[in-house]
């Protein structure tokens, strides 16, 4: 945004106000980005007067995903197993987020790879469901697994099982003994 020319019209006053507001926000954004940098980086990027220009330069210098980060994301996805205290919906959401994170990093995961990654992450007690979903032609992505389990009512059953498996606390015991 450029500073408006001097004038006395109403439009000129609005342009000045808009420019002043933009300049203030730009300065806050620049200062925020610079304050998050080490001194050596700060010297390199403080030459940018506009926060957007600084952001573009930062993305150009540091935006690429390294091979190490891609390997780490892949390993995390492949090794992930359902936590006992997570519901199946939470587990599938975490898996979807990891797949999305890999896509954002530039690695496309095919539908078949999604299924081959998600199904082994399910607990052993779900072996019958793993087989059923493996052979179901309608289950092609992680979202399809979630939808299939939801339609079949397995998520509610699984959530009820989690609730039943929670430790029996003293308050519940006291309430039930009074009955």
pLDDT digits (tens, 9 = 90+) for 97-144: 998 888 888 888 888 888 888 888 988 888 888 888 888 888 877 778
Res. 29 pLDDT band, cuts 50 70 90: very high
Cα(121)–Cα(91) distance, integer angstroms: 9
pTM confidence score? 0.52
* DSSP per-residue string spanning 39-68: HHHHHHHTT-SSHHHHHHHHHHHH-SPPHH
- Terminal-to-terminal C-alpha distance of the chain: 72
pLDDT at residue 173 greater than cutoff 80: no
Q: What is the mean pLDDT of the chain?
A: 80
């Amino acid at each position: 945004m450029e500073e408006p020319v001097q004038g006395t019209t109403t439009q000129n006053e609005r342009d000045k106000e808009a420019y002043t507001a933009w300049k203030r926000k730009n300065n806050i954004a620049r200062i925020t980005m610079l304050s998050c940098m080490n001194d050596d980086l700060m010297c390199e990027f403080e030459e940018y007067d506009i926060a957007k220009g600084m952001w573009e330069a930062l993305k150009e210098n540091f935006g690429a995903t390294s091979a190490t980060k891609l390997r780490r994301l892949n390993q995390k996805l492949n090794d992930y197993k359902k936590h006992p205290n997570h519901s199946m919906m939470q587990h599938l959401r975490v898996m979807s987020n990891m797949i999305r994170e890999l896509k954002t990093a530039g690695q496309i995961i095919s539908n078949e790879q999604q299924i081959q990654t998600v199904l082994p992450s399910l607990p052993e007690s779900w072996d019958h469901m793993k087989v059923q979903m493996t052979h179901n032609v309608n289950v092609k992505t992680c979202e399809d697994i979630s939808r299939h389990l939801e339609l079949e009512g397995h998520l509610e059953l699984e959530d009820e099982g989690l609730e039943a498996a929670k430790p029996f606390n003293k308050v519940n015991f006291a309430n039930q003994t009074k009955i």
